[in-house]
Amino acid sequence: MACSLPATASVVAERTRVIFSEGNTEESLQLVNSNSYPVAVQVWVDDGDLAATPEKSISPVLVLPPLFRLQPQAQRSLRLILSGASKLPVDRESAFWLNVYEIPPKATPKTEDESLVTLALRMQYKVFYRPKSLQAPGDTLGKALTFTLETKGDTALIRVDNPTPYYASLASLTLGSTESLPDMVAPFSKLDFPLNRLAPAGSKTVNFVLIDDLGNRKEFSKNLK
């Protein structure tokens, strides 16, 4: 008989994002192991490709240490070092992803006919580079986004237009009683958010939640364009 160990990520970071302002080449991030057992942890930064491996990662951000063991309830500080910032755009933010790969110890089967599958877990945290020409967006980002409803047969989507130089991290987006999965809209771009069903007739107000620099949720409402 085979069974799996619980697949709940328990090595977590103190915050959900790291922001490099131009001129700042190093940031730190605290990790904590809330498990009752030790784990091996591998960390690296890449462009967000889930199929990418640390050896093939593409990023100007180096993480130290890249591999370590974390005891139960212990903490570890990561150093994120930015190099090659001169090659990044100066008119908009750049985004990368910090990967935290958690490998639990192998469990011992309780009986001879029992086998256990140990699951490694991977969490991703956002890493932004913000050029000096840009200040923290505040509420201006939420106010600048525009929304258009598109329907095709029995499917519907909301097209989000982000005319700003900032990444817009939407934690939720709803139109009437319909909602979409969270996603992130790149600077000066558009992204389609599929709805889980058609919106009720007459629905014109989009309610959405943005995640700010500190990881806080900020609620906004905008009429469809």
Over residues 57-101, the pLDDT tens digits come to: 889 999 999 999 999 999 999 999 999 899 999 999 999 999 999
Over residues 143-173, the pLDDT tens digits come to: 999 999 988 777 889 999 999 999 999 999 9
Structural domains in the chain, sorted by start: 9-130 (2.60.40.10), 140-223 (2.60.40.10)
What gap in Å lies between CA 126 and CA 97, rounded to an integer?
A: 5
Q: What is the pLDDT of residue 177?
A: 83
What gap in Å lies between CA 10 and CA 37, rounded to an integer?
A: 10
Helix (H/G/I), strand (E/B), else coil: 116 = strand
The answer to whether residue 114 scores a pLDDT higher than 70 is no
What gap in Å lies between CA 160 and CA 210, rounded to an integer?
A: 13
The answer to whether residue 203 scores a pLDDT higher than 90 is no
What gap in Å lies between CA 123 and CA 46, rounded to an integer?
A: 13
Q: What is the pLDDT of residue 31?
A: 97
The residue behind tokens 């799996």 is 4
- For the chain, the average pLDDT equals 89
Q: What Å distances lie between residue 154 and 89, 150, 171, CA to CA? A: 40, 11, 25
Q: What is the pLDDT of residue 2?
A: 38
101 contact partners, CB below 8 Å, separation of at least 6: 41, 42, 43, 120, 121, 122
The answer to whether residue 125 scores a pLDDT higher than 90 is yes
The answer to whether residue 111 scores a pLDDT higher than 70 is no
